[in-house]
Each structure stands twice: as C-alpha cells, then as structure tokens.
Structure 1
Amino acid sequence: MAANEVLTTIKKRRSVRSFKSDQITEAELQAVLEAGIYAPSAGNQQLWHFTVIQDKQVLEQLNKDAKAGAAQIDNEHVQLMAKNEKFNIFYGAPTVVLVSGKEDGLMIESDCAAATQNIILAAEAIGLGSCWVDFILSAFGGEQDEQYRQQLGLPAGYKPFSSVALGYKKSEAVNAPARKENVINYIK
C-alpha cells in the first residue's frame, strides 16, 4: 500500500521529552485543539473539555503537586520518578493541554483518549513535539483537587483524563523501536 501523509505521521510520531523554551504560536495551538475537537466520540456527544496551560507558575505547581501525589502510589517506578527533584512531568514544555471529560458521559474515557491522540498526531503533522502525560492526574483527587478545578476552569461534572505537553523539539526523535510481533490474529 502506498504511503500517505497520515500514515507517515503516525509512524514518525514519538513522545518528546526535551522541549525548547520558546512558546508555540497561536496558530499552532489552534490547529492541535481543532484536531482534538474533531476526534470521534460515543454517540457524537463531544463531552470533552480542553484547558490550555501556558502559565509557567501554574505548570510548576502542577508538576510539584502531581509528583507529591504520585509519591503515594504503590509502584516503585512511579515513586522513583516522583521523588526525583530534577524530573519535570511536562519535560519543560511551554504548553500543556489538559483533556477533561464529563464524568457521566457514555464512554468518556475513550472519547478523551481519542481527542488526546488527535492532538499529538496533529502536533507531529505541523512539526511540534508532544508527550502524552497522565502523571498530571496525581495532582487531582487530593487536597488541592477543588482548587485546581476552579483555577483551571473545569466545567462542573468534568474530570481530567490526560494531558499533552506541547512545544518545539530540542532534537529530532529517534527511530521507532521495533514493534512487537504476533499481536494480530484474523478471523476470516
């Protein structure tokens, strides 16, 4: 089958964990957000909400609180990351898009995952780096949960499901690791 832009973008995209400090343009931001809102959703409900965070102080506080929350998770790998003072959950990205969904929405977790995937593919297509970051979820649910919901303008009845760190890549991504074999079976 001949390659096309979409298939090439899917195969080329890698999680970026090293960003330049320059802020992305408004046009770039709007392009990736539009891709998010064009994701499929169960029953075409479109019950997601996107919060764009570009305030450095807010990002630093989210990083701190998410790491504090993650340090309580019963997983050694997560605890090591959370306790590493040099680790930044957003990898220094100047923009983070928090993807939230209406808690009682039909299949809302899948809908938010589809929107997140669209955002990271759109970012790659226009030359931005991105990283899907669920570590941010550890900042919610604790003492500061309601404070963050208000500060970030989450609509009532919505909860965060993921986030995407966005920015310009410090370096080009490496080649894709080998894909696992024997993950497909056919019933014909």
Structure 2
Amino acid sequence: MNETISVMLSRRSIRSYKTRQVSDRDLNWILEAGIYAATSRNMQAWYLTAVQNPELLKRLRDAACETMLKSDNARNREKALDPDFSPFYKAPTLIIVSGNESRNARVDCANATQNMCVAANSLGLGSCYLASFTMAFEDPAVSATLLRDLGIPDGYFPQFGVALGYAAEHPDTPHRRRDVIRIIK
C-alpha cells in the first residue's frame, strides 16, 4: 500500500499521552505540514501556536473548566469538576489553530489541523483533533489575557487544536461506515 495512504488509514485519536516532550525537530515538521494544507484562494487564514509550557497549559485547562461549569450541559459540568480532566488529554504539547475573520478561515484551519494530525502519525507521535478547549476563550475578560499571553494576533481566534505527544494507548480501528460512499460513472 502507498505509504501516505497507510499513514492516513492508521491515524487514531489519542487520548492518553506519555509525559515525554515532543522534539523540536518533529514539532517543526508538524507545523510545516500545517501551513502546507489546502487553503481557500491561498488566503492561509490560520495562525499556529505551539504550547509546551505546563503553566500555560494549566491556565488553558482551568479557563475551559470555568466555562464548562457555567454550561447547561450536565456532562460538561461533571467533567469540569473532575480534577484529573484535561480538554487536551494531558498532552505535553498543544497546537492551537487560530483563524482570522475571512469567510473560509474555519475550513482552512480544519485542513491545517488534519494535516498536522497525519504528519504526527507519520513521525510516530500520537495526536487528537480538538475543538472543545476553545471554550477557554468564551469569557471576554479571560480571552483577552489568554490571547495576549499566547501571542495570537488581533483578528484571530482559536478554532481547533492538536493534542500532541507520545501515545500511552493504542486504540483499535473504529468501525467505518461504508454506506456513505457512492461512485457514479
């Protein structure tokens, strides 16, 4: 089988990580893969922020939990009360994919996020495509400080993330629906 397709088909969402940090070399390749993603009209509407600082990761976790506690969703509130909960599964690296205000920024950010997850798998790293941690940015007072501390430029807002690290689990291949494909000749 083609190596690229093999990497795509073997990628899994990892939700348990070892504490070992991702190397600078691997992180740089993964970020490079992100900026080579398909983009609408070559707008490249993303901004990538790799966070490896444990204190900043804790602040992001705490801010997300504060928002979750105010949620109407009982499951969110229950998770937020769990002191062991992490919206990025305690990965040692979190890549935040922020988008600008252009029309297709969210799609461009999704493409970059997927590219980085596939690149991580090709390098022997685990990853998980994330969106729920963006709740940390829902409170304007908290958001302004976090955006500043993360160095995210004005006009950009976190859309997705990639939890990144060495997998502490090896999930089975999930069932894939086959009734969602049609070929017309």
Shorter-normalised TM-score: what interval? over 0.9
- Superposed CA RMSD in Å reads 1.3
Looking at structure 2, the residues matched to 77 and 15 of structure 1 have their Cα atoms a distance apart, in angstroms, of 20
Counterpart for residue 78 of structure 1:
76
How far the C-alpha of 1:68 sits from its partner, in A, is: 1.4
Q: Between Structure 1 and Structure 2, how many residues are aligned?
A: 184
Offset of residue 170 of structure 1: 1.8
Structure 1 match to 2:128 = 131
Other-structure match for 1:178: 175
2: CA distance between counterparts of 1:9 and 1:92?
Answer: 24
2:108 is matched with which residue: 97, 107, 111?
111
User: Residue 82 of structure 1: CA displacement?
Assistant: 2.4
Deviates more, 1:173-182 or 1:156-165: 173-182
Unpaired stretches in structure 2, ≥5 consecutive residues: none
TM-score (norm 2): 0.94
Where in structure 1 are there 5+ consecutive unaligned residues?
none
**TM-score of the two chains, using structure 1 as the length reference:** 0.92
Residues 125 and 166 of structure 2 are in contact (CA less than 8 Å); yes or no, is this contact kept in structure 1? yes
Q: Which residue of 2 aligns with 1:160?
A: 158
1:101 aligns with 2:103: no
C-alpha separation in 1, matches of 2:8 and 2:77: 31
Following superposition, the deviation at residue 84 of structure 1 comes to 2.1
1:47, 1:13 → 2: CA distance? Answer: 25
CA distance in 2, matches of 1:123, 1:48: 19
Aligned-partner Cα distance in 1 for 2:9–2:172: 9
Corresponding residue number in structure 2 for 1:67:
65
Between the aligned partners of 1:186 and 1:76, the Cα distance in structure 2 is 42
Structure 2 residue identity aligned to 1:30: N
